[in-house]
Structure 1
Amino acid sequence: MSGSGRFVDGYLLYLLARASSVASAEFHQQVRAQGVSIAVWRVLASLKGTDQGLTVGELARSCLANQPAISKTVDKLVEQGLLERNADTDDRRRVWVRLTPAGEQRVDSLIARAMDHQTRLLDALGPKNADILKAALTQLIDRAP
């Protein structure tokens, strides 16, 4: 690296984290304005489009959170009627978590806002760059152990 500029200005991990922070800030504000925490948003969004649902472990990985924290969030959402738990028919130790109809309705309104926000972000890049960015990020994620 040459002597000009800060190291982090060209460091991939910093750029990814900073881009995520900048891109998420406005949307997270909208989510909180709806009375929903970011943890709840991530759980609901992660479950959207899953027929059987996810296990708590899978949900924790999808939400980028630890399992105990996700378990507490799931407990709260089950009490609110937004999620349900179902024991696996083959392995009683495995429990599936999925959206209830009320949970589907709640997350659908948030997803509509998320899609609007995403459209604004990607429009700023242009369609070609947006496709390149999505493909590059997906490739990076797929290479993870």
Structure 2
Amino acid sequence: MQPKHKTAIRPPGGSTGGKKRPAGKSVKSLKAPKGTQKRRRYRPGTVALREIRRYQKTTELLIRKLPFQRLCREICDNLGQTMRWQASALQALQEAAEDYLVDLFADTNLCAIHAKRITIQPKDMQLARRLRGDPMH
């Protein structure tokens, strides 16, 4: 019976073909300077889970106020109406819009999980909206 693993044989001269160091330099002198360290690299998904936990704890708005305000005014202008907005009305509209979107994305995620996927797709959002009874355009 032959052995399962072969051992590596060193070529004559002792070199294994690894990284070449400049002559006279030790391993310690090739490392990065003491003040600069390599940035920590987290495994895929770790940062995403941390962000999920962070945003679940907060009650602050996720969409910036001015871009949302511009969007509301633009939609009103496209309808052919020039309206004046109270700050409290824009605030209430943004709260309702963000609440709707967070719930929609939660339902969309459930649809993706039901399909044995972890990535949401447009068809998941369409299914979630259809199951909710939202009008489809």
The bucket for the TM-score relative to the shorter chain is under 0.3
User: Higher RCO, 1 or 2 (CA under 8 Å, sep at least 6)?
Assistant: 1
* Greater share of residues in strand: 1
* Greater share of residues in helix: 1
TM-score, normalised with respect to structure 1: 0.27
